[in-house]
Amino acid sequence: MKMPGRFFAVTVLLISSALMPLAVAPATAEPDPDATFAKANARTGLPDGWNPAPETYGVGETKNVEIPMADGVVLRADVRYPTDASGAPAVGPFPIVMTQTAYGKDSAGLMRLLSYDGIGPALDSALPSVVAVARQIADAAGYGDYFVKRGYISVVTDIRGTGSSGGQWSILQPQEREDSKRVVQWAAGLPNSTGQIGLWGLSYLGMSELLTAGVMEPGSPVKALFPLMAGNNAFQDLLEHDGYYNISFLASMLELPITALPQLDPILGLYREPDKMMSVFVDHLLSHFRPDGTWPSVLNALVDGDKAYNSPYWESRAIDNVLDQVAANDIPTYLIGGQYDLLQDGTPRTFAGLQNAFAGRPHSGPMPADASSTGRVQMLTGPWFHIQPGVQRNTADIDMHAIQLAWFDRWLKNDHNGIDETRTPLHAIDLNGNVIESATYPVREVPTQNLYLGADGQLVSDRPQDADGSDRLNFSPFNTGTICNASFSRNFSGVYQLLTSLFGADDPCAKFAPQGSLPPVLVNPSYTSAAFTEPTVLAGPIGATLYAVSNKPAAAFEVTVQDLAPDGSATALTDGELTGDFRALDEARTWRAPDGSVQGAFHPGTRESMLPVVPGQVTEYNVKVRPAFHVFEPGHRLQVTLGTGDFPTHIFNPKQYPDLLGGVYDVQRNGGAASFLTVPLAGVSQRKG
């Protein structure tokens, strides 16, 4: 870890903050006969020979169309539709692309005026990076004119209790699905439409579309999905990382998106109708004080209430629980994930779950290595942060609009363009632009192997045989990376990347591991493999099985995986966390490697599943390390670092601190208790298939 580089990175971020007020196979990469891996380019993900249709239509708009719900609450939507040269509605009919947003359609409209329309074009030549970021935010919020100009009707609806819609909001509440049924039926009946709908959206918008698809009946108007950065289980992915509370995510969301925007949006959208504006404003204000409101829920978790644990409340909000119905409805789904996304584990799990469900297998397990797959379910993931999928300056930017258009053209316009005709529906791009493809997740071409923690900081393939051997970890509530490290950058919802993008740069903190050593204050042991002699692929979820003895009735482990270059510089790839009381496994949702070792732990996280830590006793801890897709170059090594606390990214349940403080953990690496990683890793000459 090079502290001067980190100091420079923090300086850049502080300055940024201050200045911000098989017929046709899909093309995946640019062919390079001398390269081991294909390289990503702007056509990655697009079918060979297919190009987006040109802009043909103008755009008309009907604002604040009112949609009454069964209980009398009124939702509001903006409808943008194709027009001809005279400005009149164009001759249709046209299919519909629809977004349901929790962040306010009029906020998206404001960003549109700062980017695509309004003053955006005038600013583009002078401030191209700033305008590009504004466009990315507008896209994330559901702006859909790209599709309207190519023959689609775009609908953006404010979810109950958000934007210009009435009612009260809480995160992914089941009432939203009931509302969505009515909104879908209303949209399908829009004039000049075909009645066929494609749902799309990023983050919460993507979660909402998957949950909507999961309550539809077969034959519904919903014919295609394109969720970006949607994850699998909001509790596990976003809020509670196996005993670690994700306060960096909450810090990125509580002030503006969850607290300020619901009060600002009615003013933006309904200022011409003061009575309606005040009614919606008050509804939104009351949302903050209802028991399921965000602030009461956060306080509930901090005092060890039910929101701190998995429960029917959270399970009713889990995408994982609707995947069978999405498959039963036969809705083609194209997922977008990100390796710097805080949902980096959940989105691939959703891909595997849908592939399993479409094939009639139980959805909660990994795809079998010999499983068949379908091009009706695909996933593209790359080195992208939460808000900006497809954008990374170290690789080619991906034309995400074009991929969406190809997907919707295929399923809403019956254009057999070849996007679904692939034998490898999993497409992953690593930080250096290498493209890794597979028919399955976990990736069958990259089998797992166990790497053991060895003496002298070695990471070895042979199980230790010595009777004794351990390394000591002293508990600290803090990480050594402060707020400039990969864990904070990812869990802060990609805000750093957004800020640095204003200056045409990538987040400089994303490469730093959160758990380096800071002797003599904090010493975190690292274990390093031998140097790779050929390009070596890491692809998929990682399990860390630690055997440890604690001197206290609590324990906490953070595991970070890095790429260690020949010059000693390290690039963080992924990490995972686990407190001792959360260590129970849900076997139905835990993924195991062929030898039985845990590759993808799933800890139930319920209050009833908590297990005590017995001081002085060797205990097994299965840490879920989030998946990574990466190619190690020859001469590079894989390094794993163990740590404990992770503030300011994570905190613990406050009631645990008395038992955690002063903790000493002896991590075992001996014949009787050999700690190890289960990692999908193979040199190019060893890959299967």
Q: How far apart are CA 152 and CA 144, in angstroms?
A: 9
More confident residue, 3 or 467: 467
DSSP at 587: T
Closest CA to 410 of 214, 198, 207, 142: 198
pLDDT number for residue 18 = 37
Least confident of 175-184, 521-530, 589-598, 656-665: 521-530
Residues 174-213 pLDDT 10s: 999 999 999 999 999 999 999 999 999 999 999 999 999 9
Q: How many CB atoms lie within 10 A of CB 519?
A: 7
Which helix (H) or strand (E) segment is 261 a member of? helix 261-270
Q: What is the 3-state secondary structure (H, E, C) of 159-222?
A: CCCCCCCCCCCCCCCCHHHHHHHHHHHHHHCCCCEEEEEEEEEECHHHHHHHHHHCCCCCCCCE
pLDDT on residue 689: 58
**Can you give the pLDDT at residue 126?**
83
Q: Which residue has the higher pLDDT, 688 or 353?
A: 353
CA distance 580 to 555: 5
> Which whole number is the average pLDDT over 93-115?
90
* Half-sphere exposure at residue 1, Cβ-oriented, CA atoms within 13 angstroms: 25
Confidence band, pLDDT 50/70/90 cuts, at residue 26: very low
Q: How many CB atoms sit inside 10 A of residue 594's CB?
A: 9
What's the pLDDT band for 482 if we cut at 50, 70, 90?
A: confident
Mean pLDDT, to the nearest integer, of 528-540? 97
Helix or strand holding residue 641 (H, E)? strand 637-643
109-123, 262-276, 374-388, 572-586: least confident range: 109-123
Work out the end-to-end distance of the chain between its first and last CA atoms, rounded to an integer number of angstroms.
37
Assigned token pair, 236: 């596990």
517 pLDDT band (50/70/90 cuts)? low
- The pLDDT of residue 515 is 66
Average pLDDT over the chain, rounded to whole? 91
Give the range among 116-125, 321-330, 571-580 with minimum mean pLDDT.
116-125
Q: Is the pLDDT score of 294 beyond 70?
A: yes
Confidence of residue 505 (pLDDT cuts 50, 70, 90): confident
Reading the block at residue 647, the tokens are: 């503030």
Task: Report pLDDT for 133.
Answer: 83
In this prediction, residue 142 has a pLDDT band, given cuts at 50, 70 and 90, of confident
When pLDDT is cut at 50, 70 and 90, the band that residue 606 belongs to is: very high
Predicted confidence (pLDDT) at residue 345 exceeds the cutoff of 60: yes
Helix (H) or strand (E) holding 122, with range, is helix 120-124
Would you state the pLDDT for residue 10?
42
pLDDT at 154 over 70: yes
| pLDDT number for residue 24 | 32
Q: Is residue 41 a contact partner of residue 74, using CB atoms and an 8 Å limit? A: no
User: Is the pLDDT assigned to residue 32 strictly greater than 80?
Assistant: no
What is the per-residue pLDDT for 519? 66
Rounded to 5 degrees, what angle do the CA atoms 496, 500, 506 make? Answer: 90
Q: Give per-residue pLDDT as tens, 37-79.
A: 899 998 999 999 999 999 999 999 999 999 999 999 999 999 9
pLDDT in tens, 671-687: 999 999 999 999 998 77
- What's the rounded Cα separation, in Å, for the pair 78 and 448? 49
Q: What is the pTM of this model?
A: 0.94
Reported as a pLDDT band with limits 50, 70 and 90, residue 257 is confident
Over its C-alpha atoms, the chain yields an Rg (Å, rounded) of 25
**C-alpha closest to that of 368 among 448, 449, 443, 450:** 443
The pLDDT of residue 23 = 30
User: Above 90 in pLDDT, residue 425?
Assistant: yes
Give pLDDT, residue 396.
78
Average pLDDT over every residue of 25-31: 42
Mean pLDDT of 467-473: 95
* Predicted pLDDT at 235: 94
Distance CA 425, CA 356 (A): 13
Whole-angstrom Cα distance, residue 435 to residue 429? 5
Strand segments, DSSP code E, in 387-507 are: 426-429, 435-438, 448-453, 459-460, 470-474
> Which residue type is seen at 469?
G
What whole-number distance in Å separates Cα of residue 606 and Cα of residue 583? 11
* Section 229-240 average pLDDT: 95
CA 111 to chain centre: 23
Q: What are phi and psi of 610, to 5 degrees?
A: -65, 140
Could you tell me if 315 and 347 are in contact, meaning their C-beta atoms sit under 8 angstroms apart? no
| 278, 283, 289, 293 alpha-carbon torsion, rounded to 10° | -130
pLDDT at res. 116: 85
Q: Cβ contacts of residue 30 below 8 Å, gap of 6+?
A: 38, 39, 40, 41, 43
pLDDT score, position 3: 38
- The b/e string for 557-582 (b: 16+ C-beta within 10 A; e otherwise) is bbbbbbbbeeeeebbbbbbbbbbbbb
Distance CA 385, CA 402 (A): 19
pLDDT of residue 29: 44
Q: What percent of the chain clears pLDDT 90, i.e. is strictly above it? A: 76
| Dihedral sign computed on CA atoms, order 164, 167, 168, 173 | negative
Buried b (16+ CB within 10 A) or exposed e, 195-210: ebbbbbbbbbbbbbbb
On the question of pLDDT at 249 being above 90, the answer is yes
Distance in angstroms (rounded) separating the CA atoms of residues 644 and 666? 12
